[in-house]
């Protein structure tokens, strides 16, 4: 190796070390002559994404009264209100998709990129004492905040960590109210309300709660015995939002509107099986709700609607 070659190698190594020390990364490409060009990527940025939950103009809380719900227009009190998201990526003005890494805390699992958003501010299905909520996602991404123009995420928990023993799992998977069983896995979204006029069942009796439990259905495989579980209906809504921006370390707020979730559904009438929508493809209370979430449902026709419940505030 001559001195000229050694000098070139030394300069290349020094450049790489400089970019790493600055918190940035690099990518390289070669032209037709074999010359290598090194392009710096954005430094890693910490961001907080606020989430809000409302029903129309009413913020979700255990003390709130939600009005004008569904086809009956009834009012209701919140009972349970929480949902998981994962697979968060940021869109930039040059068309790139930037993968994010979630911080590790009691509401987030960075290994699978899962975060729990929880708006129920009292224990025991809003009948108990004050409890913590979580209305934000904290993450890191190699992106210039000024270039962010959109966000994509998926509601729910990925299949790779959905079917396990939730009672012994780490947070945020160990919430018993958000879990069915090993095979069926977690409730990706649990939005339960108590309508003022109650819920009338097929046998003409009434019950206090209209449930929405979103999760995978048609699952087979014994997860407890180590088998891989597969589900015919994954039921994980994909959300894409434009107009999403970052100002400093905080971004636009992502809003979930419960009134839009139950639009087209009579929350005072249970039309069969378990009360409310339990995600089954034969559940007659699910078609309109699934359509609003952008999910296909066997009883809702062949066309899958575009999700209408999440927006940028």
Identify the pLDDT of residue 200.
97
Identify the pLDDT of residue 277.
97
Cα–Cα distance between 21 and 36 in angstroms, integer? 21
Residue 57: φ, ψ to 5°: -105, 0
Which residues are CB-neighbours of 94 under 8 A, at least 6 positions away?
147
Identify the pLDDT of residue 303.
67
pLDDT in tens, 48-97: 999 999 999 999 999 999 999 999 999 999 999 999 999 999 999 999 99
Q: How confident is the model at residue 26 (pLDDT cuts 50, 70, 90)?
A: very low
Cα dihedral 129/53/266/153 (nearest 10) = -120
Average pLDDT over residues 245-266: 97
Identify the pLDDT of residue 29.
42
The whole-model pTM stands at 0.87
3-state SS of the chain is CCHHHHHHHHHHHHHHHHHHHCCCCEEEEECCCCCEEEEECCCEEEEEEEEEEEECCEECCCCCEEEEECCCCEEEEEEEEEEEEEEEEEEECCCCEEECEECCECCEECCCCEEEEECCCEHHHHCCCECCCECEEEEEEECCHHHEEEEEEEECCCHHHCCCCHHHCCCCCCCHHHEEECCCEECCEEEEEEECCCEECCCCCEECCECEEECCEEEECCHHHCCCCEEEECCCCEEEEECCCEECCEECCEEEEHHHHCCCCCCCECCCCCCCECCCCCCCCCHHHHHHHCCCCHHHCCCCCCCCCEEEC
pLDDT in tens, 132-143: 999 999 999 999
pLDDT in tens, 249-258: 999 999 999 9
For the ranges 77-81, 221-225, 288-292, which has the lowest average pLDDT? 221-225
- Asked if pLDDT for residue 23 goes beyond 70, the answer is no
pLDDT in tens, 170-183: 999 999 999 999 88
- Asked if pLDDT for residue 188 goes beyond 90, the answer is yes
- Asked if pLDDT for residue 44 goes beyond 80, the answer is yes
Cα–Cα distance between 99 and 151 in angstroms, integer? 10
For the ranges 98-112, 213-227, 239-253, which has the lowest average pLDDT? 213-227
CA end-to-end distance (rounded Å), the chain: 61
Beta bridge partners of 80: 192
């Amino acid at each position: 190796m001559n001195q000229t070659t050694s000098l070139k190698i030394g300069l290349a190594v020094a450049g790489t070390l400089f970019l790493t020390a600055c918190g940035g990364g690099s990518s390289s490409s070669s032209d037709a002559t074999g010359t290598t060009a090194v392009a710096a990527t954005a430094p890693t940025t910490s961001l907080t994404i606020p989430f809000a939950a409302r029903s129309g103009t009413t913020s979700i809380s255990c003390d709130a009264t939600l009005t004008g719900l569904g086809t009956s227009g009834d009012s209701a009190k919140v009972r349970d209100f929480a949902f998981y998201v994962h697979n968060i990526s940021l869109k930039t003005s040059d068309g790139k998709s930037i993968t994010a890494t979630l911080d590790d805390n009691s509401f987030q699992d960075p290994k699978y990129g899962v975060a729990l958003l929880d708006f129920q501010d009292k224990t025991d299905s809003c009948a108990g004492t004050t409890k913590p909520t979580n209305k934000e996602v904290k993450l890191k991404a190699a992106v210039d905040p000024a270039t962010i123009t959109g966000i994509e995420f998926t509601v729910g928990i990925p299949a790779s960590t959905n079917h396990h023993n939730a009672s012994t799992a780490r947070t945020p998977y160990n919430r018993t109210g958000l879990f069915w069983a090993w095979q069926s896995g977690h409730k990706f979204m649990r939005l339960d309300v108590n309508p003022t006029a109650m819920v009338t069942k097929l046998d003409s009796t009434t019950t206090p709660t209209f449930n929405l439990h979103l999760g995978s259905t048609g699952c087979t495989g014994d997860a407890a015995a180590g088998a891989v579980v597969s589900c015919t209906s994954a039921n994980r809504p994909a959300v894409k939002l434009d107009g999403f921006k970052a100002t400093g370390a905080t971004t636009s707020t992502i809003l979930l509107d419960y009134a839009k979730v139950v639009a087209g559904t009579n929350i005072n009438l249970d039309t069969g099986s378990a009360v409310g929508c339990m995600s089954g493809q034969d559940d007659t209370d699910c078609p309109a709700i699934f359509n609003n979430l952008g999910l296909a449902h066997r009883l809702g026709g062949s066309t899958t609607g575009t999700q209408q419940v999440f927006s940028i505030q």
